[in-house]
Chain A
Amino acid sequence: MSAGRVVIIGAGQGGLQAAMSLRQEGHSGPITLIGGEPGLPYQRPALSKAFLKTGEADKLALRPESFFATKDITLRTGEWVDAIDREAGVVRVGAEALPFDHLILATGTRNLRPAIPGIDRALDLRTLDDAAALRAALDRPRKVAVIGGGFIGLEFAAVAAGLGHEVSVAEAAPRLMARAVSPEMSRRFRELHEALGTALHLANGVTEVTETGLTLADGTEIAGDLVLLAAGVRPNTELAEAAGLEIANGIAVDAELRTRDPRIFALGDCAAFPEPGSGRRIRLESVQAATDHARAIARTIGTGTATPYAAVPWFWSDQSNLKLQIAGLADPTDDSVTLEDGAVLRFRDGRLTAVETINNAKIHMKARRLLAAAPVPTRDSLLQRNYDLTAA
């Protein structure tokens, strides 16, 4: 059982989970959870899904206020950490210096704002305030123009189209969700959005946000009196960088999610960590990574024994009536095998890397278990079973 002072910077999904898991691991020392956003820690996934329809903000809180007193977790939200002073072993919040024995960086990401003219007119979808502003803007018929055909842009587009708004999506890549899913899955979702009446402009980046909408690379003008910017994010690494920690598309950590300073860990959206198995550094933006990272760090601190992180990634996205589920992690160039029911298996060097399914929890769950096994199934062994994962 550990007793040191733990400070957690960032009171989002991962920061809160770290605090909760530390108590579960029996950590008895003080835990301070500091977050810049006001209010209770909340879940983001619903911001581009149910919340846009219901507006029920109180349903988003991850835990009620009373929980923090019960667990003896000091929650300080609406306060930004200004600096980490490693020499003094403190974090600075305004004039105050908070000492730590262990520090967990859970600062998440912020929207990438490309330097194109007029971009200030585009709204973000990252925080509860952002989502509330968008929801309010959808109160009358709108021409919605979305910059970016990734998960968040498409989830928003699906909700807006479902509510009867006129929706366009502009994406610089030649296909939707290109970084994360197979070309086959991109196509399936393209069909979905087209069936919803959404105009998709692929391989056509935005060059300007105008008074009336968007101008695209090929000169096309899209009408938009509500413009959403959903063209990716940047990890919040500035505090770590200023403190002299290594940055590599995120705060660089080892297999135990520790930075070069053994007192300091990083988790979730802001952390660049070695992929279990391959060892190459990756950064994931998912509830799974944030919470599983948090649990691994809490175990390391709580038990005093190093706990390497080894979880299988999973992710979901709800767009209209399709629930996309992804188990594992594929590169955009990994091979694809599409099954009869639309599930897509991804392979690299003859080994299964990921499984993409639509409305099929059975195969998704089976895939998570297969990917957790050592060794991961080969393409040949799965082919022998006609790619029937349930038989594997």
Chain B
Amino acid sequence: MVKVTYVAHDGTRTELEGDPGDSVMSLAIANGLDGIVGECGGSMMCATCHCYVDDDWQAATGARMDGEEDMLESAVCEVTGRSRLSCQITLSEALDGLVVHLPEEQV
């Protein structure tokens, strides 16, 4: 199991447990978490799964995927150096304890 903490815009923390291979987006959706929409089902078409990776987890989550940068440009909230599409972050044991912050809005 890989534990992920989602910090909503208002500071609410939700801890979820996923399996290696799940994405940060799909884990959130599977648990009905508000704050991630995931409209295209992880096809990198919608940017409604925007998240900010916590500073402590930047290295572990690694670089953005091919094309992710371009899709992020259409995210509705501010895109920063910590921004990722959560559908493109795949859980692995190395990400156990991951913390991501969610933007105020996704659409």
Contacts and interface: CB of A to CB of B under 8 A. Distances in A.
B62 interface: no
Interface in A45-88: 45-46, 59, 61-64, 66-67, 70
B29 A62 contact: yes
A67 B79 CA distance: 28
Interface residues of A, number: 28
Given A62-B29, A63-B32, A64-B30, A43 B74 contact: no
Contact of A362 (B32, B40, B43, B70): B70
B67 A361 contact: yes
B41 A46 contact: yes
B71 interface: yes
A365 B74 contact: yes
Contacts of A291: 39
Contacts of B69: 362
Given A62-B29, A63-B29, A287-B45, 18 more contacts: A17-B39, A43-B41, A61-B30, A64-B32, A66-B32, A70-B32, A287-B39, A287-B41, A295-B107, A318-B43, A359-B67, A360-B67, A361-B44, A361-B68, A362-B67, A365-B71, A365-B73, A366-B70
B86 interface: no
A368 B47 CA distance: 13
B79 to A, nearest CB: 12
A353 interface: no
Interface string B29-43: 111100000011101
12 contacts: A45-B40, A63-B29, A63-B32, A64-B30, A70-B32, A291-B39, A314-B45, A316-B40, A318-B43, A362-B67, A362-B69, A368-B74
Band of interface residues on B: 20 to 34
B83 interface: no
Given A63-B29, A66-B32, A369 B74 contact: yes
Nearest to A43: B41
Interface string A349-385: 0000000000111101110110000000000000000
Contacts of A369: 74
A362 B71 CA distance: 7
A361 B40 CA distance: 14
